[in-house]
Amino acid sequence: MTKASQDATTDATTSDDVLTIVRSDILSLALRPGQKLSTVFLTERYPYGSSPLREALSCLVGEGLAVREIGRGFRVCPMSRRDLDDLITTRLLIEPMLLERAIHNGDRDWESAIERSVNELRINLHKVGDSRPLDRNWEESHRRFHFTLLGLMTASVFTEFCQLLYQRYDRYRVLAVPRRAYLAGVASDHHDMAEAAIARNVELAVEILTRHISDTSEVLISNIESAGLVKSDGSINVPLTGTNIA
In terms of Cα–Cα distance, which of 227, 195, 189 is closest to 208? Answer: 189
Instruction: Give residue 181's pLDDT.
Output: 41
Distance CA 101, CA 156 (A): 14
Instruction: Give residue 140's pLDDT.
Output: 86
For the stretch 180-186, contacts whose Cβ atoms lie closer than 8 Å and that sit 24 or more positions apart, written own/partner, are 180/128, 180/129, 180/130, 180/131, 181/219, 181/223, 181/246, 182/216, 182/219, 182/220, 182/223, 182/246, 183/127, 183/128, 183/129, 183/130, 184/128, 184/129, 185/215, 185/219, 186/212, 186/215, 186/216
Instruction: Give residue 106's pLDDT.
Output: 95
Q: Write the pLDDT tens digit of every residue in 76-94.
A: 999 999 999 999 999 999 9
What pairing do the DSSP bridges indicate for beta strands 73-76 and 66-69? antiparallel
Instruction: Let me know: does 26 contact 76? Beta carbons within 8 Å.
Output: yes
Instruction: Give residue 138's pLDDT.
Output: 76
Question: Which stretches of the chain score pLDDT less than 70?
Answer: 1-13, 124-135, 177-187, 241-246
* All domains in the chain, ordered by first residue: 3-76 (1.10.10.10), 81-226 (1.20.120.530)
Instruction: Give residue 179's pLDDT.
Output: 44
Rg (CA), the chain: 20
Instruction: Give residue 122's pLDDT.
Output: 80
Instruction: Give residue 132's pLDDT.
Output: 54
Instruction: Let me know: does 80 contact 235? Beta carbons within 8 Å.
Output: yes
Instruction: Give residue 142's pLDDT.
Output: 87
Instruction: Give residue 112's pLDDT.
Output: 97
Instruction: Give residue 121's pLDDT.
Output: 83
